[in-house]
Amino acid sequence: MKKFGFLLALAACSPVLYNVPGVREAQASEVVNCRLVGTVVGKPGVFGPLKDIGLRDARRAALEAATNLGANTVVFDPIPEGQDVYELPGQAYVC
């Protein structure tokens, strides 16, 4: 159990960058004058006690996928309260 706690602390403190340069997250109301270029999906790689890290990884993966579409803005679908997230879909826009 101590080993798991150490790994959890190490993962939470690791200097991983989750921002993707040139792409931002927005709300649907902020992209009314933008052009939709496609959809993106990020999938968390970890769950349970590490679900927050998995969700950040999923967001980063979706933002990186948006850059491949030439997008600079992503609007993620709402996450239902209290439910596990197995994929994080969003719409990619050029604004």
CA 61/CA 50 separation, integer angstroms: 17
For the chain, the average pLDDT equals 84
At residue 91, the pLDDT reads: 98
Structure tokens at 51: 């679900």
pTM above 0.85, yes or no: no
What are the sequence ranges of the domains in the chain? 2-94
Kindly indicate whether the domain formed by 2-94 is annotated with CATH number 3.30.110.
Answer: yes
Residue 14 has pLDDT above 50, yes or no: no
At residue 17, the pLDDT reads: 59
